[in-house]
Structure 1
Amino acid sequence: MNILLRHVLESLVRQGSLRVSGPNGMIDSFGDGTGAPAHIHIKTLGAERAITFDPMLALPEAYMRGEVDIPEGGVLGLMRIVFQNIGDAGIDTAWTRAIDGVRLAFRRFQQINTTRRSRRNVAVHYDLSVDLYRLFLDDDMQYSCAYFQRPEMTLDEAQSAKKRHIAAKLQLEPDLKVLDIGCGWGGLALYLARSFKADVLGVTLSREQHAAATDRARSEGLASRVRFDVRDYRELGERFDRVVSVGMFEHVGVNHYNTFFAKCAELLNPDGVILLHTVGRSGPPSTTSAFVRKHIFPGGYVPALSEVVPAIEKAGLVITDVEILRVHYADTLKHWGQRFAANRDKAKAIYDERFCRMWEFYLAASEAAFRWQDLVVFQIQLTRNNYKLPTNRDYMARCEKLLELHAMAHSNGDLH
């Protein structure tokens, strides 16, 4: 191991048990020996040099190429040791501080998400084969944080609970017009139409998602109530009673927050309600992980609440409720990672070994970030005034309970 990398690891890993095998076969140990151990094998001098100077990008890239293996602890165990030692501040060396400073300075340029660039960015991730996503998502294809009302919930149960939780905050009534911005494969839109007789428009920039969602609406007999379009939210002009967006705001980019909320306000009827569900951070503004930005979500950014609220205020919207979901996404990602691992051979048949290693790292590192760093999920409820919604949260719990009882009765065949 080169002397600079050894110095970085000695400074970084004060707690835990990390062993590193270098290209020369030598093994170095770091930490105080506590906790579950992790062992990383760096196979080439090129990978070792790259990791020395830009570890948060070079490590996952070397793992993707097979130049790094993690024979003990896996990606999750390794990232646990890293995150628990660095906290939220990052790896603190002069070189990594310089790299992070450059990334922070240029983050707005990386998030210039025009309509054309947004379509291109979305295609990188969401136009992957739907068969891939079926390997690890729940039956309803919910690709966002589930809501574990009870720790023992299955993934399917927790995703159903998430839909009930969101629906309750929208305070829906029959025959309302609902806009779903970033509708994915259509699960939430179909649920709202089915449960509340809502007329729903779901928009996505992914042609793969649009095709799958449209087929689902047709097969479920809901095509008269739910339609899906390949359209950017900025191109819409009609008014809606409710606007919901789940897992899309992460792709808006900090440059476009004013545009997003101004457009939502323009599309909302005077007595309407908005519910925004997005990954956020409990700490201050930061930058997107270099690995995630380059290989997973180009143009993406996870905001601090302090970056979101000013844009809401500027749009003239009123924040009526904010809920922070902690650890729920870590548990969701745990389920996804386990399912992906169980179906790894099928994923490799669709793509290749490099792709599988990239997704293994993405899922496990994301779980680690939600467990041991500052990532959370924001659910922000918005209206135009203080009087549209009840002044306490009891109505949400009542609605969720009724929806749960209705689903149980339906599954038991008690509804006719």
Structure 2
Amino acid sequence: MFSLNGLLEKVIKRGRLTLVDAKGETHRFGGNAPGPEVAIRFTDPSVPRRILLNPELNAAEAYMDGGLVVDDGSIHDLVRLFFANKREFDLSPSQIFWRGVARGFRRFQQNNVITRARANVKAHYDIGEEIYRLFLDDDMQYSCAYFPTGEETLEEAQTQKKRHIAAKLCLKDGQRLLDIGCGWGGLGLYLAHVADIEVVGVTLSERQLAVARRRAEILGVSDRVRFDLIDYREVREKFERVVSVGMLEHVGAPHLGSYFLNVRDRLQPDGLALIHSISSKAPPGVTGPFLRKHIFPGGYAPSLSEIVAAVERSGLWSLDCEIWRCHYGHTLRHWRDRFAANRDRAAEVMDERFCRMWELYLSMCECVFMQGASNVVQVQLGRERDSAPLTRDYIGPEKDRIAARETEFLERVVASAKQALEE
């Protein structure tokens, strides 16, 4: 008969796991190859059976509910141990079964029509700004930062990300830009500073909208930076530039085609778009059960093949494609460290179960970028083949020009975020 101990003996090849069951008996697994070492304890005798039935989801929920306790090491060590042996875990019968079920329901789970998209956004982004302030940078950038050397601070890396995006957008004074999924407004405000352009940012988060609008007021740019509570599918205006950072992950595979058709239809004939999204080196798959249920309902990071196929059907030109590999792993390490440093405050704002859930979220996402198949892709698109320069030589000089325009603005934009969030 299958047992959790039997499963662990079979799959843990790297690292070592020491497990104390609810009866107080100690069991040890692995140790044959180097890897993370961690000791855990079950406080509920039903936990082994539940984990055996659905390891990835039920182990996470057991930690959230206190049925699984980490006695030696950290929850991050346990997640690292899982990823070090993930190939073996994925071949276990229960993992194969639940992955098959998820694939069968994928179109339903990712059917993010407008009403469902609003509910999904509310579930994650409208939980309150204070939680995000505990681990994000001062500008509240909730997406992958850019680490040219890997030694940058989080604030420096997020500025590098915005600068890199601005350069690839080839901004010119007098243009209009659409920011799909504008967050707390930082990117749109930055782009409106480094070029004299008009920005329209759209979001489905009421909390983010209020902060973004207030920041524009504080900076005195409300006359040319507008933020609207509207779905990207409801926008009807035309723009010379479209940017979307961290939004494609909320579209859902069934709607990728319509998303890129909307991007095409929003662009002027000579327009240029930059789409920045989590992706994967692997073929199309499914979102993990923990993230799908507790963190990002309706969320899915499309594979590069799915993105390219949808772009091809839209009639847009793929002008450039850049793959960021470990950058999000570095970003998530900073977020995880900052959340840990502010964990007591997070428990006061939310509760202990939320903190455990968020620890798992940040740790699992860090590991999937550093040990798994995830990456970030930036796709540059145009309605015409010459909407962007023919080589990448322009990016470096453009970034230097933009950096010269950042003087004093970075301090002002950070101050606007702090003021808007405190009001």
TM range (shorter): over 0.9
Shift of 1:408: 5.4
1:46 aligns with 2:46: yes
Q: Which whole-Å CA distance do the structure 1 matches of 2:411 and 2:72 have between them? A: 45
Shift of 1:398: 1.2
Instruction: State how 1:117-132 maps to structure 2 within 5 Å.
Output: 117-132=116-131
Shift of 1:410: 6.7
Shift of 1:402: 2.1
Tell me the equivalent position of 1:272: 271
Instruction: State how 1:42-121 maps to structure 2 within 5 Å.
Output: 42-87=42-87, 91-121=90-120
Amino acid corresponding to residue 210 of structure 2 in structure 1: A
Structure 2 stretches of 5 or more lacking a match? 413-423
Shift of 1:146: 0.3
**Contact 1:12/1:91 (8 A) holds in 2:** no
Q: Secondary structure at the match of 2:90?
A: coil
Q: Which whole-Å CA distance do the structure 2 matches of 1:63 and 1:194 have between them? A: 45
Instruction: State how 1:165-176 maps to structure 2 within 5 Å.
Output: 165-176=164-175
Amino acid corresponding to residue 73 of structure 2 in structure 1: G
**Contact 2:178/2:239 (8 A) holds in 1:** yes
Q: Which whole-Å CA distance do the structure 2 matches of 1:410 and 1:183 have between them? A: 19
**Contact 1:337/1:363 (8 A) holds in 2:** yes
Tell me the equivalent position of 1:8: 7
Shift of 1:94: 2.1
Tell me the equivalent position of 1:178: 177
**Contact 2:272/2:382 (8 A) holds in 1:** yes
Amino acid corresponding to residue 240 of structure 2 in structure 1: D
1:24-71 Cα offsets, whole Å, 9 max, x none, are 112211111623311222221122211111011001111111111122
Shift of 1:182: 0.3
Per mean C-alpha deviation after superposition, the further-off stretch among 115-124 and 12-21 is 12-21
1:383 aligns with 2:382: yes
1:163-192 Cα offsets, whole Å, 9 max, x none, are 001111110011210000000000000001
Instruction: State how 1:243-392 maps to structure 2 within 5 Å.
Output: 243-392=242-391
Per mean C-alpha deviation after superposition, the further-off stretch among 146-155 and 400-409 is 400-409
Q: Secondary structure at the match of 2:136?
A: coil
**Contact 1:75/1:365 (8 A) holds in 2:** no
Instruction: State how 1:377-416 maps to structure 2 within 5 Å.
Output: 377-407=376-406
Tell me the equivalent position of 2:421: none
**Contact 2:16/2:29 (8 A) holds in 1:** yes
**Contact 1:43/1:67 (8 A) holds in 2:** yes
Instruction: State how 1:222-233 maps to structure 2 within 5 Å.
Output: 222-233=221-232
Identity %: 46
Shift of 1:96: 2.1
1:37 aligns with 2:34: no
1:175-219 Cα offsets, whole Å, 9 max, x none, are 210000000000000001111111000000000000000010000
Tell me the equivalent position of 1:27: 26
Amino acid corresponding to residue 70 of structure 1 in structure 2: V
Shift of 1:222: 1.2
Shift of 1:158: 0.1
Amino acid corresponding to residue 65 of structure 1 in structure 2: D
Q: Count residues in correspondence.
A: 411
Q: Which whole-Å CA distance do the structure 2 matches of 1:33 and 1:263 have between them? A: 50
What is the TM-score when the length of structure 1 is the normalising length?
A: 0.96
Q: Which whole-Å CA distance do the structure 2 matches of 1:90 and 1:382 have between them? A: 39
Q: Which whole-Å CA distance do the structure 2 matches of 1:231 and 1:328 have between them? A: 30
Q: Which whole-Å CA distance do the structure 1 matches of 2:35 and 2:48 have between them? A: 25
Amino acid corresponding to residue 40 of structure 1 in structure 2: I
**Contact 2:202/2:227 (8 A) holds in 1:** yes
Per mean C-alpha deviation after superposition, the further-off stretch among 33-42 and 50-59 is 33-42
Amino acid corresponding to residue 49 of structure 2 in structure 1: R
1:72-128 Cα offsets, whole Å, 9 max, x none, are 3322211222212224x8521223211111111111110111100000010000001
Q: Secondary structure at the match of 1:45?
A: coil
Q: Secondary structure at the match of 1:386?
A: coil
1:268-298 Cα offsets, whole Å, 9 max, x none, are 0000101000001111111101110111000
Q: Which whole-Å CA distance do the structure 2 matches of 1:258 and 1:412 have between them? A: 39
What is the TM-score when the length of structure 2 is the normalising length?
A: 0.94
Residue 391 to residue 131, structure 1, CA distance change in 2 (3 Å): same
1:340-393 Cα offsets, whole Å, 9 max, x none, are 111111111111111111111111111111111001101000011221211110
Tell me the equivalent position of 1:211: 210
Residue 165 to residue 108, structure 1, CA distance change in 2 (3 Å): same
